[in-house]
Structure 1
Amino acid sequence: MDSAAVDRFEASRGRLASLAYRLLGSATDAEDAVQDTFLRWQAADRERVDVPEAWLTKVVTHLCLDRLRSAQARHERAAGDWLPEPLLGGDPMLGPADTFEQRESVSLAVLVLMERLSPVERAAYVLREAFSYPHAEIARILDITESTSQQHVHRARRRVAAERRRGGEVDPASARRIVEEFLAAATSGRTERLVELLTADAAVVSDGAGLARRLVRYRTRERVASFVRAGLRPTPAKRRLAGGSLAFHIESVNGSPAVLAVVDGRVVGAVACDLSDGRIAFLRGIAAADRLTRLNEAWSRREPGVPVIEAW
């Protein structure tokens, strides 16, 4: 393959990766889909490809659909026992973020909600909401009619909106302040303040420090506060499990404020926070090492600021 063909593919790689991540919710699987797309591009009769960008978009989309339909994917994501792979703010795989719809489409909350859509609905929704493709183009990519594309997007929007927690966007400074207060209350044992910082219908879902076979879930702010307080109470056993004394940083993960637990420069856990009306409405705790690989790669390349808690 000549350098011009390679350059043409590389010019689209970032967009393809961002699309694949939104469809799959996994950076690892997205990278694999993009690499498979490159192999298809390498083997293609490129003289007959009129619009390389459209051809590549269609190929990567269908590779992602095949993965979503596979028996392995259905097993892994069964009964909601699956969390997306979190990405650190600034990761190019997060893709376009100019509009509210683009930012929302890559949030952990919406990535989870999209699991309830059919693969084709998910693809139509992502192509329309995150990448602003017209329905005629979505129809060509998915091999459906334009009216079917419109139906899929309408249905997907309705289903996501019905489940989505409303609260609007919170400016980063206010969000950080709320999460700082929450973390301080959780680690100091101020349970009453912890409860005050949660919405009445707060919920938490966690992979149990990466050890649980199924996701751990709690609802109501009293139970959420109790779970968080127990998890963040420092003990020698927890330090041994983590590999040392933790430092806590507050960063952006998939557009939401998140607490990162760091040991010797390595992120060992991330808790992403959804905010609503100045309180925390939903927490997602991810500590499985294979779900933090790309986040750790990004973390190793940046100069982290001063931790909120330096030694836990």
Structure 2
Amino acid sequence: MDEVEWLADRFEENRPHLRAVAYRMLGSLSEADDAVQESWLRLSRSHPDTIENLSGWLTTVVARVSLDMLRSRRSRREESLVVGVQDPILGTEEPTGPEHEALLADSVGLALLVVLETLAPPERLAFVLHDMFAVPFDEIAPIVGRTPTAARQLASRARRRVQGASTASESGPTQQRRIVDAFLSATRDGDFDGLVAVLDPDVVLRSDRNAAHTDSAREVRGAMAVAKQASLYSQRARYARPALINGSVGLALVRDGRLLLAMDFVLRGERISEIDVIASPSRLNRIDLVLLDP
């Protein structure tokens, strides 16, 4: 086996881990694959005999690439005022293994990805690498251009944000179903006051490009505005069914046996605080979805 083949084999051994790191950083499966591919290109241009810890070196590289992509993405969004919706967790058709299990661990669904999206890029990197992949702060610090102490503070700040959001969204399946059913009933009946009553005053509704149309913005904030937006779905709501979406109760719009749209909810207490509307076929295919009885 020549050096190139040996290097390619070692890289493939690390690919699931690298994809997991990039996915947690970027929240996009396609971008994660791009970051992993870029890490291979950089490895192929390097001198492997100078690399003492190949796995650690690759983790650092894919983290740097992901950080650059995240910063670039944020810059583009600031210019275009467009907010994206993250890719949901993969279904079971993907390869299995320890790193894939790490990717699936603690329900990396839309709710967590939306929380991660609110973090500044250095905070997100410090949190992901340390809390999710146990990378020491001494190794994280050079990536974010901070001291180890400052990197620790970044992760701590991010951790408080994530834990706070997780606590706010905790609710049992019965409570989730009751609130989602109330939302669906009010939407079907065109009950504007009923919709406002079930929505958090600061609720955010996000729609991907396929879900948005000429009368629909891709991000809407506030109970009154979201209730008005939900009324646009009143005619189609008769096709909606309660469903488990990535383990949480949501809604699936099914017509003639075909999944057209999914709505993923984040709850805060007794009200809905976030709604993600997914209609992109490629993203719908990746959802872990189970229809529930009406």
Q: CA deviation at 1:140?
A: 5.0
**C-alpha separation between the residues in 1 aligned to 2:110 and 2:53?**
26
Letter in 2 for 1:279: R
- Answering whether residue 117 of structure 2 is matched by residue 112 of structure 1, we say yes
Q: CA deviation at 1:186?
A: 1.8
Alignment equivalent of 2:68, drawn from 45, 66, 69? 66
RMSD: 3.8
- Answering whether residue 197 of structure 2 is matched by residue 202 of structure 1, we say no
Letter in 2 for 1:260: A
Which residue in 2 is equivalent to 1:272?
A: 264
Secondary structure of the structure 1 residue equivalent to 2:213: coil
Which residue in 2 is equivalent to 1:129?
A: 131
Q: CA deviation at 1:157?
A: 4.3
Letter in 1 for 2:154: H
Letter in 2 for 1:129: D
Which residue in 2 is equivalent to 1:217?
A: 220
**C-alpha separation between the residues in 2 aligned to 1:81 and 1:165?**
25
More deviation in 81-90 or 275-284?
81-90
More deviation in 273-282 or 210-219?
210-219
**C-alpha separation between the residues in 2 aligned to 1:37 and 1:9?**
9
**C-alpha separation between the residues in 2 aligned to 1:296 and 1:217?**
21
Alignment equivalent of 1:284, drawn from 276, 279, 283? 276
**C-alpha separation between the residues in 2 aligned to 1:75 and 1:185?**
37
Percent sequence identity is 29
- Answering whether residue 80 of structure 2 is matched by residue 87 of structure 1, we say no
**C-alpha separation between the residues in 1 aligned to 2:70 and 2:291?**
40
- Answering whether residue 290 of structure 2 is matched by residue 298 of structure 1, we say no
| 8 Å Cα contact 1:24/1:68 also seen in 2 | yes
Give the TM-score, by structure 2 length. Answer: 0.75
The answer for unaligned runs of 5 or more in structure 1 is 236-244
**C-alpha separation between the residues in 2 aligned to 1:56 and 1:97?**
21
**Compared with structure 1, are the counterparts of its residues 14 and 227 closer, same or farther at alpha carbon in structure 2 (3 Å cutoff)?**
same
Letter in 2 for 1:217: V
Letter in 2 for 1:56: L
| 8 Å Cα contact 1:262/1:268 also seen in 2 | yes
**Deviations along 1:214-258, whole A, 9 cap, x unmatched?**
6341312x44333213323239xxxxxxxxx956462324x6543
| 8 Å Cα contact 1:22/1:105 also seen in 2 | no
Give the TM-score, by structure 1 length. Answer: 0.72
More deviation in 120-129 or 90-99?
90-99
Q: CA deviation at 1:121?
A: 2.9
**C-alpha separation between the residues in 2 aligned to 1:297 and 1:104?**
14
Letter in 2 for 1:65: L
**C-alpha separation between the residues in 1 aligned to 2:103 and 2:47?**
30
**Deviations along 1:53-91, whole A, 9 cap, x unmatched?**
111111111111222333x65123547521232314646
Q: CA deviation at 1:34?
A: 1.1
**Compared with structure 1, are the counterparts of its residues 175 and 42 closer, same or farther at alpha carbon in structure 2 (3 Å cutoff)?**
farther
The answer for unaligned runs of 5 or more in structure 2 is 95-99
**Compared with structure 1, are the counterparts of its residues 258 and 46 closer, same or farther at alpha carbon in structure 2 (3 Å cutoff)?**
farther
Q: CA deviation at 1:107?
A: 1.4
**C-alpha separation between the residues in 2 aligned to 1:53 and 1:47?**
14
**C-alpha separation between the residues in 1 aligned to 2:9 and 2:265?**
39
| 8 Å Cα contact 2:243/2:291 also seen in 1 | no
| 8 Å Cα contact 1:203/1:281 also seen in 2 | yes
Secondary structure of the structure 2 residue equivalent to 1:35: helix
| 8 Å Cα contact 1:84/1:112 also seen in 2 | no
- Answering whether residue 251 of structure 2 is matched by residue 259 of structure 1, we say yes
Counterparts of 1:117-266 in structure 2, within 5 Å, are 117=120, 119-139=121-141, 141-142=143-144, 144-157=146-159, 160=161, 164=165, 166-172=167-173, 174-207=175-208, 209-211=211-213, 215-220=218-223, 222-234=224-236, 248=241, 250-253=243-246, 256-262=248-254
Counterparts of 1:29-108 in structure 2, within 5 Å, are 29-70=31-72, 74-78=75-79, 81-88=82-89, 90=91, 95-96=102-103, 98=105, 103=108, 107-108=112-113
Secondary structure of the structure 1 residue equivalent to 2:85: coil
Secondary structure of the structure 1 residue equivalent to 2:133: coil
Secondary structure of the structure 2 residue equivalent to 1:85: coil
| 8 Å Cα contact 1:125/1:156 also seen in 2 | yes
**Deviations along 1:129-186, whole A, 9 cap, x unmatched?**
332323123225546431231232244446x369948524223454345324422432
**C-alpha separation between the residues in 1 aligned to 2:103 and 2:187?**
34
| 8 Å Cα contact 2:26/2:32 also seen in 1 | yes
Which residue in 1 is equivalent to 2:12?
A: 10
Letter in 2 for 1:187: R
| 8 Å Cα contact 1:138/1:146 also seen in 2 | yes
